[in-house]
Every structure is written in C-alpha cells, then in structure tokens.
Structure 1
Amino acid sequence: MADLFDSAASAADTPSLNRPLADRLRPAKLSDVIGQGQVLGPEAPLGTMLSSGSLSSLIFWGPPGVGKTTIARLLADETDLHFVQISAIFTGVPDLRKVFEAARMRRQNGKGTLLFVDEIHRFNKAQQDGFLPLMEDGTILLVGATTENPSFELNAALLSRSQVLVLTRLDHDDLELLAQRAETELGRPLPLEPTARRALLDMADGDGRALLNLIEQVAAWKPQGQLNTDALTSRLMKRAAKYDKSGDEHYNLISALHKSVRGSDPDGALYWFARMLTGGEDPRYLARRITRMAVEDIGLADPQAQTLCLNAWETYERLGSPEGELALAQAVTYLALAPKSNAAYVAYKAAMAAAKATGSEPPPKHILNAPTSLMKDQGYGAGYAYDHDAEDGFSGQNYFPDGMERGAYYVPVDRGFERDLKKRVDYFAGLRAKRGKN
C-alpha cells in the first residue's frame, strides 16, 4: 500500500524495534500490497503489463498513503530495473541532469532505470519535457506520482507517452487488513473496543500511512482494559479531512453539492455542503455558488430561490461563522426542494449563440428612436406600434433584425411558477399568430 512504506533507512540499517511501523510493514512483493485491485489484479492494467512483459511509463494518480511509492519500488524489483526516486519539490534542473546522466551510464552497462518522480506535477512544462527523450530511447522507465488531476497538471507530450493509473483511497476492509498486519507485527491486539476500532479506521480517512501512525500511538499506551470511542478520541487528535481548496477535491466536492441540489436531494446536498465547510472552504465561496445554483437550476420555476440565497449570503456577512453558516444551509435545503428549471439558462445560451452568429445586424428601424429629422428621414421609428395602445396591450410587432428568422429561446417547463409563465408565453404566441406577425 504504500508510499506509506517509503523510508530513508532500510531494514538492514535500522534495528527492527526502532523502525517505524510503516517501514516494518513495507510489502516485499506486489501481491502483498493491500487494495488497488483495479490496478494490480491479473486482468487489471498493471497486472496485464507485467504478465505480457510490456511495461510502459506510468503516472500514478491518487491521494496520499495509498501505495504509489511502494508499487513503484516493487515494479523495479519485478522488472530488474535500478530504482531511483526523486521528488519534484526538491529537485532542480542540475539534479535532473545528474539523474539522467547516471541513467545513461547505467544503460551502457546493460542496466535499465525505473525513475520514480514523486509530486511530478510540481515540475514545470520545460522540466517535464526534459524526460521525453530518455523515455523514447528507453534510458528510463518513468513512474510519476501525483495527487492532482494529470489532465490539468501534466503536459500532453508526457501524457501521450505514459499510461495513467488511478489509485484509490483504502476502504474499511483494506484498513482493517492493514490493522491486523500491524497487530501481528506488534505481537498483540490493539486495546480497543469494536466501536473504538472502527473510529480509529475512520480517523485514517483512507490513508494507510496515517492509520499506521495512529496505531503506533495507540500501541504505546498501557490502558487498564479496552478503550471505548470517547477514550480513544480524547487521546488522539482526529485527522483533518483531505481538502485542497485549489485542487481536484475542491472541484469534486462543489460538483457533488451542485448535482445533489439539482437532483432534489437535500440530505446529499447538506452532506457535501458540510464536507466543504469542515475542509476549510470559505463560506463566501459557497454562498456565491449556491446563488448560481438558484439561477441555473431553479430559475423562474421559483423566483424566490434567488432572493432567498442573496438573503442567506447577507445573513452570513452580518453574523459570520459559525452562526451565519446555518443561513447558507437553509438556502441549500430550499434549493434542493425547489421545483427545477434550466429554461432561462438554456434560453440565455441560445440567445448568446444567435448573437454571435448574426454579428452586427442592426435592430429593425421601426423600434429605433428618431430624435433628429435626419433619423426620421432614414425611417427610424416609422411604423412603430405603441403596445399600450394596442388591443390586449400587445402589438405583436417584430423585434428581431430584418431578415432574421424569429428565435424561440425561452421554453418554460411545466413546473412551479413557470407553469404560469408558460401560459403567458403560449398566450402571446397565439396572439402573434392570430395577427399574422412573425
């Protein structure tokens, strides 16, 4: 599992009892790795590559503590490649040149190199391009690790020469198996009641390395009997949830919140709203996005939704955190339960597309003002029908450029307040057709 198990000291260099538990449990072969069956299984991408002897350069994309570093080390062992590990955070261009030159010398002596680059997304485009010639001529087999979306963080040339493999957070069963291995290594069970044990696994939040660090703390205690959940949590500080306000997790969670609202699930929406708040998201960002949801997904099916969101936003500004966050939660709940319509949003996009397509077509002259005699002579305002003087207060005249086919952009849905708006749209369309106006 594990970049978990990456340690500067080897087993031979450090007495077993003094070595960190994560290092002592480092897998010796790929079959020992916990989890990641979608990558390592016999029919999975990496398993297939190894069985066919056609291993290519790889990018491991996944959260911390799920096995990126250790899988790379074990790949080197399985393929008889020399393993070199660098971190993009601490490696500059001069260091890269030394690594590349050593790999070339190694190749001349008949030994290949598996170059593992941790945090590869930290390298800029020029540095990423530097790997390409050595990948193409076989000097190195590159294995990069990143917690960020490679589509956004790595350049296209590097991605085209690599296969991206997604590593996932460890689930409860994976963490339980890891805990059992730790207990075997320690030679005794953890002094925890079942509910406390579950709480310990939850604290790890899918990160194997974090779990082993927590287990080391628990194992050092000498309690009288087994600890319950309260006793455990009072001694351990709960890990902060993984949340990068500028990274993938930020966009994933706001997408989950938005789609839960759109899907009329207030419980799901409140959960993702709470996840973002507990991760440290700025409530003002959430207020802005919630208001956007009201405009995009509720629209005129419930015009009050937008007003309620703006009021919740203002309430937050007046009260601050944490009191003001309740107003935002109320807005989220209201939006999830409101009738949904994106008709105005669709109409806006269609009108924008038409505006771009028709360029600088002028308005028809009959709806232009004519403040000067010259403009009157040019026909400005000629034939304009003042709607208040027309029957039913509706003239039905044309408001599109001359020669342009009339657009029908706004198509209200038969939900919420838009039921009434649909009746109005149909009513005016009927009058327009009756009077023979386009």
Structure 2
Amino acid sequence: MSGYAVVVGGGIGGLATAIGIRRIGWEVTVLERAAVLDDMGAGISLHANGMRALDALGVGEAVRRAARPQYTGGTRTPGGARLARMDGAALERALGTPIVGIPRAALHRALRAALPAGCVVTNAEVTAVDLSDPRRARVSTATGNGSGSGSGGSAREADLVVAADGVRSRLRALVAPDHPGPAYSGSTVLRAITDRPVTLASDFELTWGRGAEFGHIAFADGRAEWHAVLNSPPGVRFPDPLAETRRRFGGWHAPIPALLDATRPGAVLHHDIHELVTPLPSFVAGRLALLGDAAHAMTPNLGQGACQALEDAVTLAAALAAESGPGRRRPASQPGAPGVDAALVRYDAERRPRSQAVARAARQAGRMGQRLSHPLAVALRDTALRVAPSGVTVRAILRHADWTAPRLTPPAATPGS
C-alpha cells in the first residue's frame, strides 16, 4: 500500500527525498517557501557516496553529464608549494566513480527534472505541523500557488512529513524542543562562480594559510567555482566582497588572481558557516523525519554536507519500501500507509550515528586545517601533510565516501491491502 508524504524544503535533500519516495510508489508534494526557484548558489563536489545515492534515485547519469570529474588537485600553501596531492584515479578505482564538481544550480535542475509538474509547490510557507494524530500529520501553509492554481491558506494530511528545511529548521523543535540550535563555526565563506572560462592546471584545489582557505572547483564548461574561508566574528560583511577577497588572497599563488579577475562583483555570495554542534537525540518524532541540514548541519571541510543529505533521502525511501512490503497489511481501522512508524525507527537507527560521526569528523578537519592560525600550529600541520604517504589522502576520503546505497523498489502489493 502506497502512502502520501509532504516534504518541507525544496533544496538538494528535499528534492532527492521526493524522487526517492515517488520511486517506491508513494505520492509526494514538496513545499518550498521561496516564491521563485532561481537556481542561485555556487558549486559543489559530490563524492562517491553522493553519486551512489543519485544512482539509486535514477538521476546519477544526468548529474554526471553536467559535471566534471575531479582527477587532479590537492592542497597547497599560499606561495604555491605542494602539501598533499589528490589522486582522483585511485579513488575511482577504489569506489567505481570519481569525485565530480558541478554547479549547484545544475544539480538542482537535474533533481527537479526527475519530478512531475506540480510536485514542487513554491511560495508555500509552512506555518504549522500537527503531530497529535499518531497515524497522520497535518501540514498547514500560509499560501501555496507554485503552479498558478490559487493562493491562500491550505492544509494537507500526510502519512509522513519530511523536514528538509535547512540549518535553521523551524520544524526541528518538534523533534527536539530543548535543542540549542545551530552554532556559529567561527568561519565565514565568500564564494562565486566565474563569469567566463578560466585556464586551470587542476580540477580541484585547496590552499591553506593562517586562519584562511581558498579553493576552486573546475566545471565542465570551463568556468570554476571558488571559495574563500576566513576566521571571523559572525555577521561581518564587506561593502565590496570581491575587493575584500582580492585584498586578502590576491597575493596568493596562481590561478587565484585569475579566478578573482574572472568574477563579476555582484556574483559573490557571503555566508557565515553554522553547524549543529550538539547532536540531536533523534531524527524523528511521530510522523515527522528530519533530513539533511535540519538533522545534521555540518561544516564543509569534508565536502560531505550534500552527500549526507542524499544518503538520508535514499535511506528513508528504502526504509519506507521495506516496512511497507509483503506481510505489512494495514488494519481497516488504521487509515494511511502501513509500516511508517517502523520505517522511521529504522531510518533514525541507520542515519543518525553515521551522519553525526561525519559531522564530528568535518569539525575536526576544520580545526586541523583552515581554522589553524598560530604560526607554529600551521607549520606543524604543513610539515605533517608534506611527509604523509601519498595514500593517506585517499584513505581519508574513503573513510566517509565508501557507502553502499540500498536499492529502491516499490513495495509489492499484498492481497487485501
């Protein structure tokens, strides 16, 4: 017996969840508070676990066509000296797929293309989720007219609500009302995509200075994403973000000046980095499941934020399919889809330990990498990277990227269900 789910949030995790839930035979509506899906954002690297999740969702090949494999790159000092080398070919041999770089907008488009018209409802502000009925949830919105079919308040009853509403999730309080919420990581990031192609000698690179990092991701069309991370108090903003980036990083090694020169000033995005330092005691409550940054917002130091959200999406869909399969008959007195409660228990048990472990590792990577500012600590870090065997970087990536996605198949129909 199929069910009906409401996904709150139309980002990477929310769209992926909708694809997965539809893939197992459920109906789904995505409620996105933004009035227009404008495809803003910079770039993203997807590791093997993220690509395996996309393959399970049936969109892996579409993403690969829009992406560029990352075979070359590594870590350097501001002067250009090599600290560590990334062996993308070794990762591909070990995992069956390389890391790929893709504009976030292109990834969003690929995910939306896998959903039918009308599935994503924009301009839909979720005002309340009622979990008082243990078998159904009620989602209220202030407005919702993504397909031009009307506006005003509305309510939907669902077998499941998925909160994929980001690091500042308002629905998180339904799961953990006493949780302190996201904390500032101590770092702020400026980033942009170049307006034109740039000649690059590597697919991906990070440069570590004192309390600062500059990195780039090369795209298939020759353009590149760059990001500049700084230790900073929260809330600091610059009148001209590009000029400030040039002031801080313009003297670093090539191609950093060229990347900045190829960037339009108005294209620079600036965000403080927040994370969930305090782990959540559960990702679920009643018929509500937290997913992605709402559940485990992490620093970007391992490039695993989106990948973990994609893992969440596939794992949740697989749990729903498994718990709604043969033998999971629905009593006539219980409306809605069977097995949801068991599926949520399974989802929480599988996803919470792994995603929270990755979040801890990302935080530690930042502390030992970009966050270091004392000259002696920076010198010790750089020396350790230089003398480390070449396989250390590959093994570090494998530790988090080697994840096997469950297969997503619709639950088999059962007589009388």
Q: TM-score, normalised by structure 1?
A: 0.22
Structure with more of its chain in helix, by fraction? 1
Structure with more of its chain in strand, by fraction? 2
Say which structure, 1 or 2, has more relative contact order (CA 8 Å, 6+ apart).
2
Q: Which has the larger radius of gyration?
A: 1
